[in-house]
Amino acid sequence: MNCEWVQQNTALYLYDELADDARHELEQHIRRCQDCAAELAAQQDFQAQMNALPVEEPSASFLAAARMRLQEALETAQQNRAWYHRLAFDPMAWMRQVRFSPALAMVIFIVGFGGGLGAMYSVKGPATATAPPVEASIGGITSIEKEPGTDNVKVQYDKRMPASVQGSASDPKVQDLLLYAAKSNENSGVRLNSVDVLTSKADDPRVRETLTYALRYDSNPGVRLMALDGLGSYVKQDIRVRNAVLESLLNDSNLGVRSGALHALEPVRADSSVRMALQQLSKEDPSEYIRTESKRVLASMPNIY
């Protein structure tokens, strides 16, 4: 085994991709060869550096949003498929086969599926006989692209399709919607109702992640209080919940939320960050209530040496 081979395979060694015998020989070689040992160390350092861009699991609401969008598109695709099967003639297959004469004045391609997917119109020439989309059904225009040097325009838009689902809050479909609503809905009443239902499912880490998000970022103090209510039991066992509650105590603009956070942290007896925060608050907080309560909670905590 020579140095060139070893240096070309240090990455594979670190990724555990070498066969057992090759791994053994590489290890033996590195024990004897300083240059190759240095190369191994450099490769290790490089791989550690690359982890500064960590891979994160998609958040619950991100995944829920993606699933919802896909669900809408699949339902439309399923309907279209059923519709095509009822016809003796498949227009999409026909369009693939027919060759259009270049003398044709206009061609319209409708690609994709409605309901949640963008629909694309590529129009060459005058507008078509197909009815334009009804304004009330358009969710929003997402992009307009003009093809340079031509009259072609691609308009991508979303369509709204009201729908409902009913079932247990443990049903994954229902839960995905609740997680999405808790983070993304414009209506604070809807967010409040979502968080209310989700508090009973806080044993699920995905749900806790969404409740933590609501506690940190929701603009409505009622929603933040509701989320805090659901998270309170997890302050001791889940460090991310504890951090979020501590941040609320320190930074929330609403005294009721801060007070709730303070009481939620009472069972935490051994966290030095909590203790330090309480010490600071007991001396410097502008609210007398927070100062008094912080002192009381500190007094009940055992000393940590």
Partner 1 sequence: MVGQAQSRMNDTELIREAQRGNHAAFEELVRQYDGAVLRLAYHLTRSEQDAQDIYQEAFLKAYRNIGNFRFECSFYTWIYRIVTNLCLDLLRKRQVRKEDSGVTTDSEGGTYDLLDQVADQRSGASPERDLMRRELAANIAKALKKLTPRERMVFELKHYQGLKLRTIGEILNTTEETAKNTLFRGTQKLRAALKSVR
Rounded to a whole number of angstroms, the minimum distance from the CB of residue 158 to partner 1 is 12
Is the CB of residue 180 less than 8 Å from the CB of residue 68? Answer: yes
The contact pattern for partner 1, residues 32-51, with x = CB under 8 A and - = no contact, is ----------xx--xx-xx-
Q: Which of residues 168-227 bind partner 1 (CB under 8 A)?
A: 172, 184
Q: Which of 63, 120, 155, 174 lies at the binding interface for partner 1 (CB under 8 A)?
A: 63
Per DSSP, the three-state class of 250 is helix
Rounded to a whole number of angstroms, the minimum distance from the CB of residue 63 to partner 1 is 6
Q: How far is it, in rounded angstroms, from Cα 17 to Cα 71?
A: 39
* Residues pairing with 109 in the sheet: 122
Structure tokens at 69: 């969008």
Q: How far is it, in rounded angstroms, from Cα 288 to Cα 68?
A: 47
Question: With binding defined as CB under 8 A, does residue 65 bind partner 1?
Answer: yes
- Reference 215, options 170, 246, 175; nearest CA is 246
- Whichever of 9 and 193 has its CB closer to partner 1, that residue is 9
Per DSSP, the three-state class of 220 is coil
Is the CB of residue 261 less than 8 Å from the CB of residue 241? Answer: no
Q: How far is it, in rounded angstroms, from Cα 132 to Cα 157?
A: 12
- Reference 258, options 217, 231, 284, 228; nearest CA is 228
Q: How many residues bind partner 1 (CB under 8 A)?
A: 41
Q: Which of residues 240-259 bind partner 1 (CB under 8 A)?
A: 243, 246-247, 250
Question: With binding defined as CB under 8 A, does residue 74 bind partner 1?
Answer: yes
- Whichever of 30 and 249 has its CB closer to partner 1, that residue is 249
Rounded to a whole number of angstroms, the minimum distance from the CB of residue 102 to partner 1 is 28
Question: With binding defined as CB under 8 A, does residue 80 bind partner 1?
Answer: no
Question: With binding defined as CB under 8 A, does residue 22 bind partner 1?
Answer: no
Q: How far is it, in rounded angstroms, from Cα 119 to Cα 112?
A: 6
Q: Which of residues 263-302 bind partner 1 (CB under 8 A)?
A: 273, 276-277
- Whichever of 107 and 109 has its CB closer to partner 1, that residue is 109
First to last CA, the chain: 55
Site residues (vs partner 1, CB under 8 A): 8, 11-12, 15, 17, 42-43, 46-47, 49-50, 52-58, 62-63, 65-67, 69-71, 73-74, 77-78, 113, 117, 172, 184, 243, 246-247, 250, 273, 276-277
